[in-house]
Amino acid sequence: MGECRSSPASPATSTRIGSFCFFAMTVHNDQVASVLRRAIQEIISRGLNDPRVRGLISVTRVRLSDDMADATVFVSVLPVEHADLTMHGLRHAGRHIRYELSEHVKMRRVPRLSFSLDNTLKKEAGVIAAINRSVREDEKEGRGIDEDPDKRGTEP
């Protein structure tokens, strides 16, 4: 026969029984994680009564365990100077956020939340800044975007 295949974007474990493929519930987990991400972002953006939690806080993603008992919430904090103190405040407010989450999302069991700092937005901002710097330098030198940088100074 053939083997069970899953899409590369959402790798799933599969089991073949006869001619049927059974995939793990990754699509369902992804949907639940997306709902949790939006709800947690809303709870945090409404504000927590903790002076440690400050700055621009973005929930970048939520990773659920297979049994949906635990969720790791990845957050990005800007400015970076507030990141450590904000993460400490979020970890301390985790039980309160979970309670608020149970009011927003109707689930049999709301997962336990753990917070982790996500530096991908910081890295992306660094890459974009480097690209912008390079474009400005090229404009100062009078080169266009379509010109080949290896052929500088050579005339035909």
pLDDT in tens, 27-83: 888 899 999 999 999 999 988 888 888 888 999 999 999 889 999 999 998 888 889
The secondary structure of 82-109 as a DSSP string is GHHHHHHHHHHTHHHHHHHHHHHS--SS
pLDDT mean over 2-28: 56
The answer to the question of residue 96 being in a domain is yes
The domain tally of the chain equals 1
Domain CATH for 94 = 3.30.300.20
Residue 47 lies in a domain: yes
Residue 21 lies in a domain: yes
> Which residues form the domain of 113?
14-118
Q: Has residue 50 been placed in a domain? A: yes
**Residue 153 falls inside a structural domain:** no
With a CB cutoff of 8 Å and minimum separation 6, the contacts of 111 are 36, 64, 65, 68, 69, 70, 71, 98
d(CA 23, CA 35): 21
pLDDT at 70: 94
Q: Is 126 part of a structural domain of the chain?
A: no
88-130 pLDDT tens trace: 999 999 999 999 999 988 888 999 999 999 988 778 888 898 9
Residue 105 lies in a domain: yes
